Amino acid sequence: MNGDNKIDFAKQRIIDLRRIIENHNYNYYILANPSISDYDFDMLLNELIALEKEYPEFITPDSPTQRVGGDITKEFKTVKHRYPMLSLSNSYSVSEIKDFITRIEKSIEGDVDFVCELKYDGVSISLTYEDGLLIRAVTRGDGTQGDDVTTNIKTIKSIPLKLNGNYPDIFEMRGEIIMPHNSFSTINKEREDLGLQVFANPRNAAAGTIKLQDSKEVAKRKLDSFCYFMMMDEGKMPFKNHYESLIAAKKWGFNISNFMAICKNVDEIEEFINYWDENRKNLPFDIDGIVIKVNNFEQRDLLGFTAKSPRWAIAYKFKAEEAYTKLISVDFQVGRHGTITPVANLEPVQLAGTTVKRATLHNSDFIDQLDLHYNDIVCVEKGGEIIPKIVSVDRSKREKTSKKVVFIDKCPECGSKLIKAEGETAWYCPNNQGCPPQIKGRIEHFIGRKAMNIESLGEGKIEVLFDNRLIRNYSDLYDLTYDKLFGLEKIITNESVDNISSENTIRKISFKEKTAKNIIEAIEKSKSVPFSRVLFALGIKYVGETTAKLIANSMESIDNVIAATTEELMEIDEVGEKIAISIKDFFSNEENIHIINKLRSIGLQFDQCKRQKGENQILLGKNIVVSGVFSSMSRDEIKQLIEDLGGKNVSSISSKTSFVLAGEKMGPEKRKKAEALNIEILTEADFLEMIKK
Ligand code: IVH
C-alpha cells in the first residue's frame, strides 16, 4: 500500500470504528441490551485510539475516544442559557396534585393527557446540539446562566456526542446527571481509604464530579444521565406532544427512561406515584419524586409560566422513608489515618427493604446536636443517602436514668489521648505508629491493587500476620519467608458499617502451601512497581493515585519529594496547601524515613524511570504541539526528541503554546486555531534546522 492509500484506509477505518463503537454504546447504555463482550469492545476502542494517535488530524470532538477524558478545565466558563432553566413547583400530597389537575382542567377545554415521569435526584444539565453534534453542556447555575462543563459531560457514556436519524438542526435537551448507587459506593470507599470526607449522597457526589477540573477523573467516576425535556425556538418544534418528542429523542441516542406513562386522570397519576414510592428502592439510582407534565404542546402554551416555573408541570416529592428504633450502643472505629468515626448500634428495624442495625453518627458535633442518650428511641431515615442516618430523637420516650452518649477522649484501640485538628470536626488518634487498626489499615492500603498490588494478601491475612507479630509496618512484608507463613491460621469475624444490613461473617484464614508460595512471589514482584505507585502506596494522607502520579512526574525521585518545601510542592498540578502540608508532615516523621530507607535497601523503586536527558536542552521551557505526519521520524520519535531536548509536549493549542510543529496533513482546525492565536507554525525542516543549532 502506498502512503496515500494507507492514509485513506486509516481514515475509513476510523469512521467505521466510531460508528460500530457508538452503536455498541447505544445498545449498552440506552437500550440496556449489550451486543458485544467487554473484551471485544475494548479491542475496538483500543484500535481506534491507536489509529487516532497515528493520525491525529482525523480526531473529531464526537469521537468515542474523547469520552476517556484527559482535558483539564482550570475555570469553567459562565454561559448564558438560551432558554432559562426553570424549576418545578413542588407538592408533598396527592391532594395538591388533585388541585393542580383541577386548575388545568378549568383553564383548558377538552381532554388533557399527563405524562408521569421519575424525578431523578441529580444535577440538571442543558445540552445543545447543532447538526447532530453535542456542542455545549451547561449546568443550571442560577437558571439564567450556568457553567460550561462540556469537557466533563462528554465522558458520560449515555450522553450522545453525535446523534442518529432525523434530528432537528438546532435544539436543546434538558436532563439530569446522576450517580448510580454502585459508582457512589465505589467512590466513597476510595475516599474513606484516602482519609477524604465521603460524599453524603449520590446527588452531592454527581454535583462535585461534574465540576472537577480533570475530565479523566470524571470519566472514572461513571456518572449516568436521563433526559426529559426537549426545547426549541418557538414554532420550530416538530412534535405535537412531549411523549412523542421523548420517544424520538431515544431513537436519536438519548437515554430516556422506559418508566414513564401517559395518565388521563388523578387516579392513574396516583397509581403511578404509589407504585414508584413503593418500588423506588429497587432502582439502581435515586429518585426523589414523580414529575407530572401536560403532554400536549399547544395546551402547554396556553397554560404558560409563572416567574419561576411552568404552569403545565408539577413535582410530587416522596417523603423520606423513616423508622423508629432503639439505640443500643455506640462503637468508635479507628480509620487508617487515625480518624475516629462513631457508629450507632441499633435494634434491628426494617427500612426501605433492608434491615438496619447500624448507622453512622459522623462525628462528635453530630452526637451533641442530637443530644443522644443510650436507649433513646431514634428516628432513622433513608432519603437520598445509602447509609441511613439518625435524624431525630424521640425525647418523650427517654428513660429518666439513661446516660448521655459522650464522645471518647482516648483511643478505643490503643488508649492514646485523642486530638482534634484546628478547623476540623473529626477527632484523631495521634499514635499512628503504634495503634493497631491504623497500622493494619496502612498495610492493607500498601498491598492494594492500585498500590503495590501484592495479590494473595488481603485484610484477613494481614490481621493474622499482625497478630503473630510478623509485621509491624509495611516494610516488614519484605522480611516474610515461606517458612514463617506456612501453617498460620485464624478464625475471623467481620462486620462493616457500610453493609448495614449484612449479618456478621465468619471466615477461616489459613496459609496453605500454595497461598504461602503465592504471597512470597507477589511480594518479590512488587519490587518492580513504578515509583508513582510506590509513592501512592506509602499512604500519605490526601495523596491519591492521581496526585501521586503528578508528584512522581514532577519530582522524579523520593529524595526530591522529601527535600521539597511546601511551596515547591504546591507548584505541582493539583497539590494545594492541605496536601503539601500533609506530605511535609509525613516525611518529617523519623519512623517514616526509617521505613523508606529500609524499603529502598530492599530494592523498591524510589526514582521515576526516565530516559537519559541529552546535554542539548534547546527546547527547555517550550510547550510544543505536534500535529500531522512526519517524513524523517514517527510522531512518537519526534515527541521523544522534544522531551530529550527539554521541551514539553502539549495536546491542544493555547496562548501558552510556544510553537506548533506541523507535519504533512496537519488538521485544519489546529491550523486555524494557531493562526487565530498568532502561534508560530514550524515545518519539519524548520524544526530540524532549529535543533541542529
Ligand atoms: S422537567 C421547566 N423532568 O427537577 C422544568 N425535571 O425541581 C423542566 N428533574 O430542575 C424540568 N427529574 O433538575 C423535569 N423527569 C424530570 C425531572 C426533572 C428531575 C429535576 C430538574 C429540575 C428539577 C425541578
Q: What's residue 499's pLDDT?
A: 37
Question: What distance in Å separates the CA atoms of residue 264 and residue 226, rounded to the nearest whole number?
Answer: 24
Q: What's residue 574's pLDDT?
A: 73
Q: What's residue 502's pLDDT?
A: 35
Please choose, from the candidates 536, 522, 449, 453, the residue with its C-alpha nearest in 3D space to the C-alpha of residue 485. Answer: 522
Please identify, by atom number, the ligand 1 atom nearest to the C-alpha of residue 310. 2
Query: Is 404 an active-site residue?
Result: no
pTM of the complete model:
0.64
Band (pLDDT 50/70/90 cuts) for residue 610 is: low
Question: What distance in Å separates the CA atoms of residue 348 and residue 358, rounded to the nearest whole number?
Answer: 8
How far away, in angstroms, is 119 Cα from ligand 1 center?
Answer: 7
Distances (CA, A) of 15 to 48, 58, 161, 232: 9, 9, 14, 30
How far away, in angstroms, is 318 Cα from ligand 1 center?
Answer: 14
Q: Which three cell numbers stand for residue 608?
A: 521515576
Question: What distance in Å separates the CA atoms of residue 263 and residue 342, rounded to the nearest whole number?
Answer: 47
Q: Is the pLDDT of residue 465 over 50?
A: yes
Q: Is the dihedral of CA 126, 130, 136, 137 positive or negative?
A: positive
Looking up cell 432558554 gives 83
Question: What distance in Å separates the CA atoms of residue 460 and residue 467, rounded to the nearest whole number?
Answer: 11
Q: Which three cell numbers stand for residue 193?
A: 481509604
Query: Any bridge partners for residue 214, and if so which?
Result: 72
Q: What's residue 501's pLDDT?
A: 37
Residue nearest to atom 21 of ligand 1 (CA): 124
Q: What's residue 614's pLDDT?
A: 62
To test the ligand 1 pocket, which listed residue (116, 123, 172, 174) has its Cβ within 8 A of the most ligand atoms? 174
Q: List pLDDT tens digits, range 166-196.
A: 999 999 999 999 999 999 989 988 887 776 7
How far away, in angstroms, is 172 Cα from ligand 1 center?
Answer: 14
To test the ligand 1 pocket, which listed residue (87, 142, 231, 254) has its Cβ within 8 A of the most ligand atoms? 87
Residue nearest to atom 23 of ligand 1 (CA): 87
Please identify, by atom number, the ligand 1 atom nearest to the C-alpha of residue 123. 13
How far away, in angstroms, is 31 Cα from ligand 1 center?
Answer: 22
Please choose, from the candidates 541, 550, 551, the residue with its C-alpha nearest in 3D space to the C-alpha of residue 592. Answer: 541
How far away, in angstroms, is 87 Cα from ligand 1 center?
Answer: 7
Q: Is the CB of residue 503 less than 8 Å from the CB of residue 355? A: no
The arrangement of strands across the sheet holding 659-662 comes to 648-649, 623-627, 659-662, 680-683
Q: What's residue 360's pLDDT?
A: 85
Q: What's residue 500's pLDDT?
A: 38
Paired sense of beta strands 313-317 and 90-91, if any: parallel
Residue nearest to atom 15 of ligand 1 (CA): 119
Please choose, from the candidates 643, 611, 606, the residue with its C-alpha nearest in 3D space to the C-alpha of residue 626. Answer: 643
Residues in the ligand 1 pocket, defined by CB under 6 Å: 86-88, 117, 119-120, 124, 176, 228-229, 291, 310, 315
Q: What's residue 645's pLDDT?
A: 84
Q: What's residue 671's pLDDT?
A: 86
Question: What average pLDDT does the segment 147-156 reach?
Answer: 95
Active-site position among 119, 293, 461, 541:
119
Question: What distance in Å separates the CA atoms of residue 624 and residue 133, rounded to the nearest whole number?
Answer: 29
> Coil, helix or strand for 671?
helix
Question: What average pLDDT does the segment 306-312 reach?
Answer: 89
Question: What distance in Å separates the CA atoms of residue 627 and residue 23, rounded to the nearest whole number?
Answer: 29
Question: What distance in Å separates the CA atoms of residue 398 and residue 327, rounded to the nearest whole number?
Answer: 11
Please choose, from the candidates 644, 614, 632, 615, the residue with its C-alpha nearest in 3D space to the C-alpha of residue 687. Answer: 632
Q: Dihedral angle at the C-alpha atoms of 448, 452, 455, 461, nearest 10 degrees?
A: -60
The arrangement of strands across the sheet holding 287-294 comes to 90-91, 313-317, 287-294, 114-120, 261-263
Percent pLDDT > 90 in the chain is 61
Q: Which three cell numbers stand for residue 417?
A: 489521648
Radius of gyration of the chain (CA): 29
Q: What's residue 480's pLDDT?
A: 96
Paired sense of beta strands 680-683 and 659-662, if any: parallel
Question: What average pLDDT does the segment 588-610 reach?
Answer: 92
Go through 71-105 and write b for each residue having 16 or more CB atoms within 10 A of its CB, e for each that does not.
bebeebeebebeeebbebeebeeeeebeebbeebe
To test the ligand 1 pocket, which listed residue (114, 116, 120) has its Cβ within 8 A of the most ligand atoms? 120
Q: What's residue 183's pLDDT?
A: 94
Q: Which residues contact 430 (CB under 8 A, 6 or more apart)?
A: 338, 416, 417, 418, 419
Question: What distance in Å separates the CA atoms of residue 163 and residue 167, rounded to the nearest whole number?
Answer: 7
Question: What average pLDDT does the segment 597-617 reach?
Answer: 81
Question: What average pLDDT does the segment 572-592 reach?
Answer: 90
Question: What distance in Å separates the CA atoms of residue 56 and residue 665, rounded to the nearest whole number?
Answer: 9
Please identify, by atom number, the ligand 1 atom nearest to the C-alpha of residue 90. 7
Q: Is the pLDDT of residue 96 over 90?
A: yes
Average pLDDT, the chain: 89
